[in-house]
């Protein structure tokens, strides 16, 4: 794929990192096997790991019984929570009020 310098896909951010010789050798070997440049291999791998880390914050794997228990709690009657009532009665710190 050819990237035109002013296109939205142009790579302009610069990242730097330090690695041991062993880490560099493993990365270069893997990049060769994947038939990618070292930069592309590292960037693709890092982005994949970053996306997985972010998904781990939003996606929870549970058993059927755990899911049912959660749904029962959510579908059940609202329980009084004085702490939340107090919190929601105050203005947000960033609202300036």
- The chain-wide mean pLDDT, for the chain, equals 88
With contact defined as beta carbons under 8 Å apart, do 38 and 28 qualify? yes
pLDDT in tens, 73-95: 999 998 899 999 999 999 988 88
The model's confidence at residue 7, banded by pLDDT at 50, 70 and 90, is low
Rounded CA gap, 43 and 8, in Å? 17
> How is residue 94 annotated by DSSP?
G
The predicted pLDDT at position 92 comes to: 87
Q: Please say if the pLDDT value at position 51 is more than 50.
A: yes
- For residues 78-93, one letter each, b for 16 or more C-beta atoms within 10 angstroms of the residue's C-beta and e for the rest, the string is eeeeeeeeeeeeeeee
With contact defined as beta carbons under 8 Å apart, do 41 and 34 qualify? yes
The model's confidence at residue 60, banded by pLDDT at 50, 70 and 90, is confident
Question: What are the residue ranges spanned by the domains of the chain?
Answer: 18-74
């Amino acid at each position: 794929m050819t990237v035109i310098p002013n296109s939205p896909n142009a790579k302009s951010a610069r990242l730097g990192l330090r690695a041991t010789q062993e880490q560099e050798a493993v990365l270069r070997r893997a990049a060769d096997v994947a038939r990618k440049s070292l930069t592309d291999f590292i960037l693709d791998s890092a982005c994949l790991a970053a996306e997985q880390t972010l998904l781990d914050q939003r996606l929870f794997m549970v058993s059927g019984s755990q899911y049912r228990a959660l749904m029962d709690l959510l579908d059940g009657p609202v329980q009084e929570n004085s702490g939340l009532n107090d919190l929601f009665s105050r203005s947000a710190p960033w609202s300036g009020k």
